[in-house]
Amino acid sequence: MAKLNLPVYKKEELEVTVEDLTYQGLGVAKVKGYPLFIKAALPGEKLVVKVEKLGKHFGYAKALKWLTTADNRVKTKAKYLQTGIAPLMHLDYQSQLAFKQKLIKDLLVKAHLDQIEVAKTLGMEQPFAYRNKAQVPVRQVKGQLEIGFFKQGSHDFVALEDFYIQDKRIDQVLLVVRDLLRKYQLNAYDEKSHTGIVRHLMVRRGHYSKQVMVVIVTNTKKLPHATEIARDLQAACPDVISIMHNVNDARTNVILGPQTELLAGQAEITDQLNGLTFKIAAQSFYQVNPVQTERLYQAAIKRAKLTGTETVIDAYCGIGTISLSMAKHAKHVYGVEIVPQAIENAKQNADANKLTNLTFEVGEAESWMANWQKAGIKPDVIMVDPPRKGLTESLIDSATAMAPDKIVYVSCNPATLVRDIKSFMEKGYQVTQPILPVDQFPQTTHVESVTVLTKQK
């Protein structure tokens, strides 16, 4: 392998000044133009670092000593940074919001789309204890069953009792479940040997309903003492109305296995979103920050300028959270989703909310758009809320072939958003309002946003 001709060498100790933050929240310091990425360092700070890892275009260094600290640094508990639960918690909240706006701006500049404006990030009043869902690994530490999290980028387990960004009631319920597993002497999963019983605990809580679901994920087909655990849990926590057992016996990083059975109570909890009621099952996709999700959907509806006369297509409808919200402001909404269980839930949710102006279909959005086009359905607005990988070219082709006046793009990944905007622009659509970043995940580097693309006449 050719020797890299770099201005720094491994294990070298240097004094550097941090200039910027990467999209992952790492500090960036440059040595003769060569970038070094440093965990927990902020722009403007001077520090002594030790070079740890070198690559052709950038390297990683570890902070040894801070010589100066930034004004927008806040005190933290190191374990949250270590585990990656809250990788931005050392940055004050207003600066976090500015960082998220800049993330999108920088990507637009890089793509030569600097003419597109980015609004200020819509933040939260209380930017912690917001998550309505916890998925925590269970491991044996010094002979005792513990709940916790893995150190970022590793499988080193850190035992935790307070998860900082989760609903506080969820943390309390997790401790009750942990203590019951200890009481009935259930051992935790061991990744290396693929032995042990309890792998993960999942807890969901309705923000408005206050209903709690507990899912115990095991490596074994049976959960020993299931009846006693369920009985004791309901006695200690009357708000736990759903106790489920999920089996995942595969050697995998995926948390839930395909098989879930009801141990006690009911199989679903309900919650409200913008005045609508939704049923949430163990496997349902449901946004984890209910306060900001309401604001995100309200922003999407407002920016789509719905008046009650429009036909809308929701291309990744899930259990119908956006579809139902839009149905209150549109003539008819067509939702499509590849997961059959999600469509079943979406139909139930429409019925529960007495909304009749919705049609839900299972399948690929591209196929259904072609079917609807053949049937003479002409959408005024197409709504897309894709996963992190963004949209496929075929979906962009299908959406633009229907020639809606507006495409409303809810994105959870600025990089794929900017890539997809370029594709839409090539097909005659323009971004006509500033992109709105929404902080769905305070204390982390993730940013959601709403972009409206309008068909050019």
Structure tokens belonging to residue 122? 């819509």
Between CA 225 and CA 264 the distance in angstroms is 13
Classify residue 10 by its DSSP letter. Answer: T
Closest CA to 441 of 121, 136, 214, 73: 121
φ, ψ for residue 286, nearest 5 deg = -145, 130
Closest CA to 39 of 50, 23, 25: 25
The residue assigned the tokens 């905007």 is 421
| Pair 67, 49: CB distance under 8 Å | no
Between CA 275 and CA 278 the distance in angstroms is 10
* Element at 331 (helix H, strand E): none
Residue-wise DSSP of 18-53: EEEE-TTS-EEEEETTEEEEETT--TT-EEEEEEEE
Q: CA-CA-CA-CA torsion for 102, 107, 109, 114, nearest 10 degrees?
A: -80
Catalytic-role residue among 244, 412, 447, 453: 412
Residue-wise DSSP of 99-162: HHHHHHHHHHHHTT-TTS-BPPPB--SS-SS-BSEEEEEEEEETTEEEEEEEPTTS--EEE-S-
Between CA 327 and CA 358 the distance in angstroms is 7
Tell me, yes or no, if 237 is annotated catalytic.
no
Q: Alpha-carbon torsion 109, 111, 114, 119, what sign?
A: negative
Structure tokens belonging to residue 388? 């992190």
- 3-class SS of residue 258: coil
Catalytic residues: 412
